[in-house]
Chain A
């Protein structure tokens, strides 16, 4: 179906032909919309224009519009992008744009995906703080120049947008794989001097969906909108888990570490 939004577009104004996924995972199709091309227009602006002026039933997710909340990621011309910071002028090809829900996640409706599997895997990867002190203890100083802190800092700007998760071909082929974001979070905590349970993190990323499934293809680092490098974090986890297994080779070869049922 094609919509022109005639009431609000100036016929003389150049327009972009936008194909938008409508429906859920089982039933759906691309619908075409003619959207006026404007200066400094983002892909999120285009989606919002369609929703506000042509079809109010179009479902999508956004919040901050400034690249901080990680809500608005979608597939733009088959690549995962944060749509609020993606300029239409850079994404449009031959006057056309294709917008779809994020890859590798169940589709709820139109451009909205169910993020539960993504966040469940953060928990599975022990991507949560393991307290080393209580509120009654004095605050311990952290040396910002220490190697561990520099390593931890390299991953803390993650906004949980799931762009890396959608970009990852290993996630596409392996349902159990924890994915780049969750593993990067685990690596950040592993290097955090204030995290008290490194062994639990090592065990969590050593199971059948763990860091060892990564083929180092690098799509996560290529597409990360904040220019982080989850592949490097995963390589760090592989090294840390391998070192820990060599310290107790018999235990690891017999699969005695928790989660090694693979």
Chain B
């Protein structure tokens, strides 16, 4: 159910997520010190390839990481297995990718 390939994918995506999460929280704390409106945030993120890359990478890593984690929980606690487990895992991954991707595009694209 959780073989070496999925285990490594989950660990590697965790490695990617860790610095991005710290960066996200650090920027959030720093940016709101003087008060910040949504318009001001969008003013800085829209059209920024850097933020697109930052949050785009984060969304991809989260989608893979969470799908594998939920796959394990679903198998052990709800008994889902075989094809239905694979379909569930892919749906979670694609769902998070689509939702996260939309959010990233909304705040970074003009």
Interface residues of A (CB under 8 A from B): 170, 173-174, 176-177, 206-210, 212-213, 238, 241-242, 245, 252-255, 257, 259-262
Contact = CB atoms under 8 A, between A and B. Distances in A.
Interface stretch (B6-14, B28-36, B37-45, B95-103): B6-14
Contacts of A206: 3-4
A252 B76 contact: no
B4 A241 contact: yes
Given A173-B75, A255-B5, 8 more contacts: A173-B77, A174-B76, A210-B3, A210-B4, A213-B1, A213-B2, A253-B8, A261-B3
A262 B77 contact: no
20 contacts: A173-B75, A174-B76, A206-B4, A207-B3, A207-B4, A208-B1, A208-B2, A212-B2, A212-B3, A212-B6, A241-B4, A242-B4, A242-B8, A245-B4, A245-B8, A260-B3, A260-B4, A261-B3, A262-B2, A262-B6
Contact of B3 (A170, A173, A208, A254): A208
A27 B29 CA distance: 61
A173 B79 CA distance: 8
Interface of B: 1-9, 11, 72, 75-77
Contacts of B9: 253
User: Which of B5, B7, B8 has the most chain A CB atoms closer than 10 A to its own CB?
Assistant: B5
A210 to B, nearest CB: 6
A211 to B, nearest CB: 9
A260 B5 contact: yes
B1 A252 contact: no
A195 B90 CA distance: 40
Contacts of A238: 7
A245 B12 CA distance: 12
B36 to A, nearest CB: 40
B11 A242 contact: yes
A173 B8 contact: no
Given A242-B11, A245-B8, A174 B75 contact: yes
Contacts of A176: 1
Contacts of B6: 212, 262
A257 B77 CA distance: 28
